[in-house]
Amino acid sequence: MRTESFRRNPANPCCTAAGRTPAVLALASMLLVFQAAAPRSAEAAGLTLQRFGGIYGTPNSDGGLATFYNPALLSLNPGFIFSVDGTLIHRSATYNRVIAPFGAEDAEDPENPTEGELARYDARVRTNTGLATTSTTAVLPYASLGYVHEFDTINAGFAYAPVAAFGGGGEWDRNEGAPSEFPGAIYGPQRWNSLSGGLTVIQHTLSVGVALKEFGLMFGGSLILATAELSVVRSRNLNAGDAPIDLQGNLQEGMVHFGAKDVQPTFTLAVACDRERTRASIVYRHGYDLDFVGPLSSAFATVAPVREDAYTQFPLPRMLQGALTGIFNNTSLTLTVDWTEWSVIEENDIRDEKDRDVILLKIPRNFNNTVSARLRLDQQLTDRWMLSFMAGFDPSAIPNTSVDPSLSDANKAQIGVGIQAILSDNLTLLASYTHDIYPKVTVTESVHEPRSNGAYTDTRLFLNVSLAGRF
Mean pLDDT of 199-222: 96
Amino acid, res. 72: A
Determine, yes or no, domain membership for 365.
yes
Mean pLDDT of the chain: 88
Q: What is the DSSP string of 301-361?
A: TTEEEEEEEEEEEEEE--EEEEEEEEEETTEEEEEEEEEE-GGG--B--EEESS-TTSEEE
If you ran DSSP here, which 8-state letter would residue 364 be given? B
- Residue 198 pLDDT class (50, 70, 90 cuts): confident
Confidence (pLDDT) at 439 = 96
Kindly tell me the burial class for residue 69, based on how many C-beta atoms sit within 10 Å of its own C-beta (0-12, 13-18, 19 or more): buried
Least confident of 250-264, 292-306, 418-432: 292-306
Confidence (pLDDT) at 219 = 98
Work out the number of other CB atoms within 10 angstroms of the CB of residue 98: 17
- Residue 5 pLDDT class (50, 70, 90 cuts): very low
Residue-wise pLDDT tens digits, 56-69: 999 999 999 999 99
- Residue 47 pLDDT class (50, 70, 90 cuts): very low
> CA–CA distance from 147 to each of 74, 77, 278, 352 (Å)?
9, 10, 25, 47
The Cα–Cα gap between 151 and 213 comes to 10
> CA–CA distance from 425 to each of 6, 15, 16, 128, 422 (Å)?
6, 11, 14, 60, 7
Confidence (pLDDT) at 1 = 52
Determine, yes or no, domain membership for 3.
no
Nearest-5° Cα angle at 437, 202 to 410:
70
For residue 94, which of 166, 234, 188, 183 has the smallest C-alpha distance? Answer: 188
Top pLDDT among 46 and 286 is at 286
SS (H, E, C) 386-450: EEEEEEEEECCCCCHHHCECCECCCCEEEEEEEEEEECCCCEEEEEEEEEEECCCEEECCCCCCC
Sign of the dihedral through C-alpha 291, 50, 365, 235: positive
Confidence (pLDDT) at 311 = 96
Domain count, the chain: 1
Least confident of 231-245, 336-350, 441-455: 231-245
Confidence (pLDDT) at 259 = 95
Check pLDDT > 60 for residue 424. yes
The Cα–Cα gap between 427 and 156 comes to 21
164-203 burial: b if 16+ Cβ within 10 Å, else e: bbbbbbbbbeebeebeeebebbebbbbbbbbbebbbbbbb
Mean pLDDT of 355-373: 94
Determine, yes or no, domain membership for 332.
yes
Q: What is the DSSP string of 215-272?
A: TTEEEEEEEEEEEEEEEEEEEE-TTSS--SB-TTS-B--EEEEEEEEEEEEEEEEEEE
Check pLDDT > 90 for residue 239. no
Mean pLDDT of 291-318: 91
Confidence (pLDDT) at 48 = 56
Amino acid, res. 128: N
Nearest-5° Cα angle at 95, 359 to 373:
85
- Residue 452 pLDDT class (50, 70, 90 cuts): very high
Residue-wise pLDDT tens digits, 71-114: 999 999 999 999 999 999 999 999 999 999 999 889 999 999 99
For residue 182, which of 136, 134, 120, 132 has the smallest C-alpha distance? Answer: 120
List, in sequence order, every residue forming a beta bridge with 282; answer none if it has no partner.
271, 322
Top pLDDT among 471 and 227 is at 227
Check pLDDT > 90 for residue 19. no
388: left (phi over 0), alpha (psi -120 to 50) or beta: beta
Question: Is 224 within 8 Å of 259 (Cβ atoms)?
Answer: no
The CATH number covering residue 160 comes to: 2.40.160.60
Amino acid, res. 375: L
For residue 270, give its domain range. Answer: 13-470
Top pLDDT among 384 and 11 is at 384
Mean pLDDT of 131-157: 94
Q: In the chain, count of helices (H) and strands (E)? A: 3, 19
Determine, yes or no, domain membership for 329.
yes
Confidence (pLDDT) at 238 = 76
Residue 86: which H helix or E strand, with range?
A: strand 79-97
The Cα–Cα gap between 25 and 31 comes to 10
Determine, yes or no, domain membership for 134.
yes
